[in-house]
A and B are shown apart, each in its own frame.
Chain A
Amino acid sequence: NAGVTQTPKFRILKIGQSMTLQCAQDMNHNYMYWYRQDPGMGLKLIYYSVGAGITDKGEVPNGYNVSRSTTEDFPLRLELAAPSQTSVYFCASSYTGTSYEQYFGPGTRLTVT
């Protein structure tokens, strides 16, 4: 199993541009999450999904959108990029059962200038 994969690894955007960060998992997990991590800070939850077609906001959703059309994929859309969105973005997934630790992808480092 590849686990959780993310593309791209790095990206530089100009202010006002848009992009989609891709996330896929091959573990048949129902739950998927998007986090951002700023230097010296913990991970902050942006959006999460409990299954295909179901998404909900996390702690810091402004400026982002998500969709979940399949169990495997959970893309994160940035519209009108701003410098405040410069961060490292992590996607994660977890089981539906009683053990719900989350498994993380390798991250996407995004710079908005």
Chain B
Amino acid sequence: EDQVTQSPEALRLQEGESSSLNCSYTVSGLRGLFWYRQDPGKGPEFLFTLYSAGEEKEKERLKATLTKKESFLHITAPKPEDSATYLCAASFSGSARQLTFGSGTQLTVLP
């Protein structure tokens, strides 16, 4: 069964304290790895898609990377407005573009 696991479940950082979120997935023909941001009471907001090992994408203080078994979302010098739940999702071969989501990492950045 294709699975996506995120860690940690929750992370509290001081403003400016860089860290990384992890997303691991079962290896069964990964077609794409997706990162989303979700604010309370809102729908997930698309951040990045990664398609192959070694690929990196950046947006402001966020950088997503991909290996053959996991993806990392690096947050550099975070600000309080980066506080949100970050969701990872994967699409696998034969899944007709369906996404399998992890349960998310709730990030809190303290001023």
Q: Do A and B actually bind? A: yes
Contact partner, B46, options A35, A43, A45, A102, Cβ 8 Å: A102
Say yes or no: B49 contacts A101, CB within 8 Å.
Answer: yes
- B26 → A minimal CB distance (Å): 14
Give Cα A4 to B45, complex, Å.
12
Please report B residues at the A interface, Cβ cutoff 8 Å: 4, 32, 34, 36, 41-46, 49, 87, 89, 91, 96-99, 101-104
Residue A31 at the chain B interface, CB threshold 8 Å: yes
Query: Which residues of A from 1 to 40 have beta carbons under 8 Å from B?
Result: 4, 31, 33, 35, 40
Task: Return chain B residues, CB-CB under 8 Å to A45.
Answer: 98-99
- B48 → A minimal CB distance (Å): 9
Residue A105 at the chain B interface, CB threshold 8 Å: yes
Give Cα A94 to B31, complex, Å.
15
Contact partner, B102, options A4, A31, A42, Cβ 8 Å: A42
Please report A residues at the B interface, Cβ cutoff 8 Å: 4, 31, 33, 35, 40-45, 48, 50, 56, 58, 90, 92, 94, 99-107
Jot down 6 A-B pairs with beta carbons below 8 A, ordered by A. A58-B98, A101-B32, A102-B34, A102-B99, A104-B43, A106-B43
Task: Return chain B residues, CB-CB under 8 Å to A106.
Answer: 42-43
- A9 → B minimal CB distance (Å): 9
Across chains A and B, the number of contacting residue pairs, with CB separation under 8 Å, is 55
CB-CB under 8 A for A90 and B43, given A99-B49, A100-B91: yes
**Nearest 9 Cβ contacts at the A-B interface:** A42-B101, A104-B43, A43-B101, A42-B103, A104-B44, A106-B43, A101-B46, A100-B97, A101-B49
- B15 → A minimal CB distance (Å): 26
Say yes or no: B44 contacts A56, CB within 8 Å.
Answer: no
Give Cα A107 to B39, complex, Å.
12
Task: Return chain B residues, CB-CB under 8 Å to A4.
Answer: 43
CB-CB under 8 A for A94 and B44, given A41-B103, A42-B87, A42-B104: no
